[in-house]
């Protein structure tokens, strides 16, 4: 079993927030390599935003995602490994990006 590290959760949350940006709903996939492991997240999610202000502008920021469907695959050299991915834990990392 491949254990999903806090570093991978953080990277996944960061990439996912960038991918969904200002969308209210997203359905698609996110693929990337992480420390020699190929990662693929297939998902359909509702995306929730909140206005965030800094000294230059006010913009919508992703504050939460509610999945309709998700799968997270990890593989090395084409061989898939079971993993312990938790979307609830990923949501915690997404919320921590604010």
Residue 12 has pLDDT above 90, yes or no: yes
Residue 46 has pLDDT above 90, yes or no: yes
Count of positions (residues) in the chain: 98
* Comparison of pLDDT for 58 and 33, the residue scoring more: 33
Q: What pLDDT was estimated at residue 51?
A: 77
Q: What pLDDT was estimated at residue 21?
A: 85
Residue 84 has pLDDT above 90, yes or no: yes
pLDDT mean over 17-38? 95
The domain locations on the chain are 6-96
Does the CA dihedral 52-8-26-86 come out positive or negative?
negative
């Amino acid at each position: 079993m491949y254990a999903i590290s806090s570093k991978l959760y953080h990277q996944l949350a960061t990439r996912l927030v960038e991918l969904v940006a200002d969308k209210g709903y997203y359905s698609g996939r996110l693929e990337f390599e992480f420390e020699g492991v190929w990662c693929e997240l297939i998902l359909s999610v509702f995306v929730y935003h909140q206005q965030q202000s800094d000294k230059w502008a006010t913009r919508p920021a992703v504050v939460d995602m509610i999945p309709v469907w998700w799968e997270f695959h990890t593989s090395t050299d084409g061989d898939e490994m079971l993993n312990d991915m938790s979307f609830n834990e990923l949501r915690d990392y997404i919320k921590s990006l604010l």
